[in-house]
Amino acid sequence: MTPQAIEKARDHSELMKTLLKEDKPLSPELPKPDAKWRFFWPIGERPEQMRNDIPRTIPEDFPEWENKMDAWGFKLIDAVHTAS
């Protein structure tokens, strides 16, 4: 889990100064700390050589978190198998 205001986008302000006027962003501003929380959720069985002690953090106000995350994760894995 990564709480809010921990991650921050890279500072590209020096690069933006080198861009032509038509290529510059409309509202250049320095990166701000990210306001969203990020939750990590392992999906499926882990290979033996990988750590298997990843904590599963469930947000308090989201009781169906585990079922939703597992369902979404396995759909992503199925999509990769289908595409490949």
Q: Are residues 32 and 64 in the same domain?
A: no
pTM exceeds 0.85: no
In a domain, residue 61? The reply is yes
**Is residue 64 very low, low, confident or very high in pLDDT (cuts 50, 70, 90)?**
very high
Q: Are residues 1 and 34 in the same domain?
A: yes
C-alpha torsion angle, residues 79, 81, 83, 84 (rounded to 10): 160
Q: Please give the residue that has the higher pLDDT: either 49 or 78.
A: 78
The chain-wide mean pLDDT, for the chain, equals 84
Number of domains in the chain: 2
Q: Are residues 2 and 34 in the same domain?
A: yes
- Please say if the pLDDT value at position 48 is more than 80: no
Which residues span the domain enclosing 12? Answer: 1-38
Rg (CA), the chain: 19
In a domain, residue 79? The reply is yes
Range in 16-20, 36-40, 62-66 the model is least confident about:
36-40
To 5 degrees, how large is the angle CA 56–CA 77–CA 10? 65
In a domain, residue 49? The reply is no
**Is residue 52 very low, low, confident or very high in pLDDT (cuts 50, 70, 90)?**
low
